[in-house]
Structure 1
Amino acid sequence: MIADGSLGEPQKDRLELVEKIHEVINGKLVGGGSPYSAQNMIRWVRAMFVWAETSDHHLNLASLEKTYLAWCDSLVSRHQVTKDLSQRSAYTMGAQAGDVFDTVLERSTPLVTTTRLRMPTQRKTARGVKAEKQNLEETFTFGHFLQDICDALTTETVLRGSLPVRIPLRLGGELVEWSGYANWKAVQHHLENEPRVSKKGRERRNHRKSLAKFKLREAEGTLRTRYPLANRRCEAELLIFIGQTGMNFAQAHKLKLRHFHYASHLDGYLVRDRKGRRGGDVLFEIFKEYKPHFERFLEWRRVLFPDSELLFPFVRIGGRSLNRHPQFSLRAVCKDLGLRFVPPQELRNTRVNWLLRRSGDPDLTAAMAQHGKETLLGTYERPSQQRAMVEITRFWAKNDPTIARTSP
């Protein structure tokens, strides 16, 4: 289309601006920035360019600030008038594109602060006793479900177990795993109706052919056909690991296998790399009850993935990219079972609030969660009605003279 001129003449007045935008985004990536952030920056810069072209606004270095402000006004209008955009989405689009343009224009103050876009205030509502209990119960039920998967999918079951693998669940029922076999419904039908198979020659041949193909796949016993089972356990182990360590999902799925060394600390262990210098950086911290489970997983993955350097070696058709988060197929499984899937961020949040409720010490909880105290209280803490009642009772017991007096 460029060669035959159907896109028109090149708009060379944009060249300097586009080169600078590319330089800024590329610089953020080279400096260790997140690929996800870069993708979002490109996405919203493109969105502004599309709007500018349809609205006859200039796109060059000299007019960039004016065009950006007009685009942000259109985002405000979409939120307030058209109502096809939330306030948070409008602000996110403007702020992320503005972050690129701030560097392009060498501004000392963010462009987004000169617009009418505002981040909506988040008012945290206190959870009642019933809501807190329900949240914990759902998380514990999900944890039992993950544990059932890990217990069932041993090395022997994954590589040599008969298909389908039937995993009994503590929540009731069972999880049936066909290891990704696409035609499993036909095989199940044949197996269930084998005594009543029609005596017609053609149907009998199709029946035998379908079963023979399935039996060959079942007997192979390699990750070529059994990788969906291995992925299933890797998903469960990754979610348990995040729930136990509180590590960020983006970091956890990229972790490399190390010679882990455990040092006792409080009610658990600090985990370091044995090859690292003595007293080196702590990789993560775990509770003591999790150590046997973690060691069992390490042994399992060494047998199934002896050549992989990743701690959670997911198998993906065409190869795995560490720049993309693993997609959890357990979401669909939980939906089929009527079980609520608890995502990594919520697992971390529940862990932090559980620690805070148990310890009552924000400083200790922030240290264990590897956050600053301000981040813990501002972002992760969920107001608790029960905890507030206890704190208020303690305060008045200490400060109310009619309660705290020592003499009759």
Structure 2
Amino acid sequence: MAELDLVFKGLALGTHETPWDLQVFLYKGAASVRRDLVIQAIQDGKFGDIVQGRLPFVIKLHEVLQSSLSRGSSQQTIRTYLENLWRFYSWVDIADMLSTENAIIPTFKAWTEHLLKRVNINKDIAQMTAYKRASLIANLIAQALDLPGAKPGHSLMLTTRLKRPKKTSKTLSTEADKQNLADTFEFGHTLTTICNNLDIETVRGSLPIKILLDQNKVLTIAGNLIEPDLDVETIENSGVKKGAIIARQPLEENISLLETHKRSSILNLRIESELLIFLAQTGMNLSQAVALSKSTYRWQSDGEDYEVFRVYKGRREGEAIFRCYKVYRDHLQTYLDWLDKTELSQNDERLFPMISRGMIRTQTSKVSISTLKNLFKKNNLIFINPTQLRNTRINWLLRNTNDLTLTAEQMGHTTEVLLKDYMRPHHQRASSEIIEFHSLIDPAQSAPGPGLCVDSHQPKQIVNFPENAPVPDCISPEGCLFCEKHRDVMSSEYCWKLASHLELKRLETNLYKPSEHNYIHPGNLVMDRIKLKLKAISDGSEIRNTWVEDAQNSIRSGKYHPAWDGYIRLLEVMV
């Protein structure tokens, strides 16, 4: 089978990366071996002969992916498909399942049952992760077998028990939103502290590196040290002690940072921190940011922001590549100088040239911020991923500008995408929008009596207007209570005002001496109306009931609302 070529043409590789070769799937057990070792093991005969029944389907898989790659599909997408194919075939070998054309669909369904077990019993994988992995393989199988239908991969997934988890909308309280912003600010402070402390002298200096976050928190950057807090003076073996001392010493001046991998994790720590700061400042997405090259930049002021242009050789023109806040310019320039001093710029033209033991990665390789994540996890710090950072920036901009179109333009999205994928509910914004809405359709204003009026100087009696009740005239406070344009206010202050008004009318009616015709004093009708309103408010909810009880207790203790206090004091003297 030497003439069989199942390697992918056009898939970019890093300096130390092994080509993706689907011939691995033809040998039982080979998919579980590291890719950089498996081809040699196959050539040495450690996996025996190929499984002939697998060959037709593997060839079709290669054709599907190679065709997709040739059409210009994202290289990262192709890599994701390949990574999941390796997981799938590794399980196929372990479970001793068939992977021929005729058996691949039943095998796939069995694999989804295995994923379900991991989700529900082993609980070592999330349901969404399991669903996404299975969906990728279902799409490949559907294309390779040329299954019918508009979305054959989705149709295949519907035949399994593995379903897409429902989106659960978590209640977002005002405190949760404040906490989100507080966590983001704290995260940004930590990133900035890391960047400011990992200058060229510190990176080349002695290990471990200690970074003081605050009076109670110190980050320990170990580099390649296994035991960073080890006291070398306690080591009794002279050879081991000498090695420990050498490992902790600063790099000699003639040694480049790139000649040894011992400081690569420290370099990556600053690069990853700078990357997240850059994302928070510019709003650019992760894939765009890591693809940026370190160029000569031209800065152009635009109000509170800078527009940054790439300068082409021999001329100053260029396209705007990102926009950032003015205060970020100095920070970014310091980082660009740091890249030059570390010599990273000489080996990699990218703005964020993350390294791995001397390996230069391709621009299409998956971005991992693992060094920073592990440091935060080890020190019990809250880590905010790029998607969350971008989401927070978008919602902050939207909240402060109140302009959906402007925010979408700045973040490089359509308004539809912004609303669908990024915008989150916010209590203060929702409250202001509700108030604005009611102001438009129900423009309430102060009324002569307690509460609000929605149509001043055009009073209208309520339905079933009581005989002898005060007539609404936009002058009499009592008349407001019998007007259709009157609105209650759901607040404790309003309940206090109503209760005080009730006390005023009680004192007023006590001064009244009934006539021979048993004429009903209008004050009694006002009192009945106020009591009805207070009862309706009290029955509305537990908190409203508390408002009414507090108001009544205030009246009993002689604390009246300022609007009626003076009148009540006068009547108390008269009574």
Cα distance in structure 2, aligned partners of 1:317 and 1:107: 47
Could you tell me the percent identity over the aligned residues? Answer: 29
Superposed counterparts of 1:40-55, under 5 Å: 40-42=80-82, 44=84
Cα distance in structure 1, aligned partners of 2:309 and 2:245: 49
Superposed counterparts of 1:129-278, under 5 Å: 129-159=174-204, 161-170=205-214, 172-182=216-226, 184-186=228-230, 188-190=231-233, 203=236, 205=238, 209-210=242-243, 213-214=246-247, 217-220=250-253, 222-223=256-257, 224=260, 225-275=262-312
Whether the 8 Å contact between 1:52 and 1:59 is mirrored in structure 2 is no
Under a length normalisation based on structure 1, what TM-score does the superposition of the two structures give?
0.80
Aligned match of 2:352 in 312, 333, 353? Answer: 312
Whether the 8 Å contact between 1:141 and 1:171 is mirrored in structure 2 is no
Whether the 8 Å contact between 2:292 and 2:350 is mirrored in structure 1 is yes
- After the TM superposition, which of the residue ranges 88-97 and 122-131 deviates more from structure 2? 88-97
Cα distance in structure 1, aligned partners of 2:382 and 2:456: 55
Structure 1 residue 44: deviation in Å?
4.9
Is 1:284 aligned to 2:322, yes or no? yes
The alpha-carbon distance between structure 1 residues 233 and 74, as it changes in their structure 2 partners (threshold 3 A), is closer
Is 1:383 aligned to 2:383, yes or no? no
Aligned to 1:114: 155
Structure 1 residue 27: deviation in Å?
2.5
The alpha-carbon distance between structure 1 residues 138 and 10, as it changes in their structure 2 partners (threshold 3 A), is same
Whether the 8 Å contact between 1:52 and 1:71 is mirrored in structure 2 is no
Output the amino acid matched with 2:350. Answer: L
Output the amino acid matched with 1:111. Answer: P
Is 1:346 aligned to 2:383, yes or no? no
Cα distance in structure 2, aligned partners of 1:164 and 1:47: 37
Aligned to 1:301: 339
- Per-residue CA deviations over 1:240-294 (Å, capped at 9, x if unaligned) read 1111122222332232111122233353122221118877543222112211111
Under a length normalisation based on structure 2, what TM-score does the superposition of the two structures give?
0.59
Structure 1 residue 38: deviation in Å?
2.4
User: Of Structure 1 and Structure 2, which has the larger fraction of its residues in helix?
Assistant: 1
Output the amino acid matched with 1:237. Answer: E
Is 1:25 aligned to 2:65, yes or no? yes
Cα distance in structure 1, aligned partners of 2:180 and 2:406: 23
Cα distance in structure 1, aligned partners of 2:192 and 2:394: 21
Cα distance in structure 2, aligned partners of 1:362 and 1:171: 41
Larger radius of gyration: 2
The alpha-carbon distance between structure 1 residues 177 and 331, as it changes in their structure 2 partners (threshold 3 A), is same
Structure 1 residue 138: deviation in Å?
0.9
Cα distance in structure 2, aligned partners of 1:354 and 1:246: 11
Output the amino acid matched with 2:334. Answer: R
Aligned match of 2:413 in 365, 371, 374? Answer: 371
- After the TM superposition, which of the residue ranges 143-152 and 26-35 deviates more from structure 2? 26-35
- Per-residue CA deviations over 1:165-196 (Å, capped at 9, x if unaligned) read 3322147432233443345444x342xx7xxx
Structure 1 residue 362: deviation in Å?
1.7
Structure 1 residue 54: deviation in Å?
6.7
Structure 1 residue 298: deviation in Å?
0.9
Structure 1 residue 146: deviation in Å?
0.8
Is 1:356 aligned to 2:406, yes or no? no
Whether the 8 Å contact between 1:244 and 1:286 is mirrored in structure 2 is yes
Query: In structure 2, the residue corresponding to 1:341 is in which secondary structure?
Result: coil
How many correspondences in the alignment? Answer: 390
Output the amino acid matched with 2:281. Answer: Q
Aligned to 1:37: 77
- After the TM superposition, which of the residue ranges 161-170 and 386-395 deviates more from structure 2? 161-170
Output the amino acid matched with 1:38. Answer: I
The alpha-carbon distance between structure 1 residues 125 and 281, as it changes in their structure 2 partners (threshold 3 A), is farther
- After the TM superposition, which of the residue ranges 205-214 and 26-35 deviates more from structure 2? 205-214
Superposed counterparts of 1:65-80, under 5 Å: 68=105, 71-72=108-109, 75=112, 79=116
Cα distance in structure 2, aligned partners of 1:8 and 1:326: 35
Output the amino acid matched with 1:233. Answer: R
Structure 1 residue 97: deviation in Å?
2.4
Output the amino acid matched with 1:297. Answer: Y
Cα distance in structure 2, aligned partners of 1:72 and 1:386: 48
Unaligned runs of 5+ in 2: 1-26, 28-41, 446-452, 458-575
- Per-residue CA deviations over 1:318-376 (Å, capped at 9, x if unaligned) read 40323132343222322333311112221111111111111122211111111121111
Query: In structure 1, the residue corresponding to 2:355 is in which secondary structure?
Result: coil
Query: In structure 1, the residue corresponding to 2:420 is in which secondary structure?
Result: helix
Cα distance in structure 2, aligned partners of 1:76 and 1:31: 34
